[in-house]
Amino acid sequence: MGIMADLHQRAGDVFQQMETDIIFDIKMVATDKLNRKCGLGTDLLRRSVQLAQSLGYKAIKTEATGLYSRKAFERLGFIVVAEFLYAEYEVDGELIFEKIKNHRGTVFMLKRLSEVTVTRAVEI
């Protein structure tokens, strides 16, 4: 929670930045190992963006806690507004996340929906 609080503080007033008083928030999308390589996670994110847009939201935010989720959001046009590096997180002089090597940190990301290009989802 401390990392998230710091990350939100670093992001600043995102409501003012996005010129809105309400922002769609994507909390978590997860898939099992079988579905990771077939694009299911990206498709779920794309559908979330489409849902937010159809509901009239002007912006979407998320916190990506790993490299893979960050890349998926970047492919959909989200931009990094703030970042908290895991190497910086220290409690009582101890670097708590120093063993994490494959992920840089947590990022706060935004997407202005007026920039979203909606593509039709293929039904299976």
121 domain residue, yes or no: no
pLDDT value for 33 = 67
Cα angle for residues 38, 65, 27 (degrees, 5° grid): 75
123 domain residue, yes or no: no
End-to-end CA distance of the chain: 39
122 domain residue, yes or no: no
* pLDDT average, residue stretch 63-92: 89
Instruction: Say whether pTM exceeds 0.85.
Output: no
pLDDT value for 119 = 53
State yes or no: pLDDT of 60 exceeds 80: yes
6 domain residue, yes or no: yes
* CATH number of the domain within which 37 lies: 3.40.630.30
Tokens of 68: 């893979």
40 domain residue, yes or no: yes
Q: How far apart are CA 106 and CA 86, in angstroms?
A: 7
pLDDT value for 116 = 42
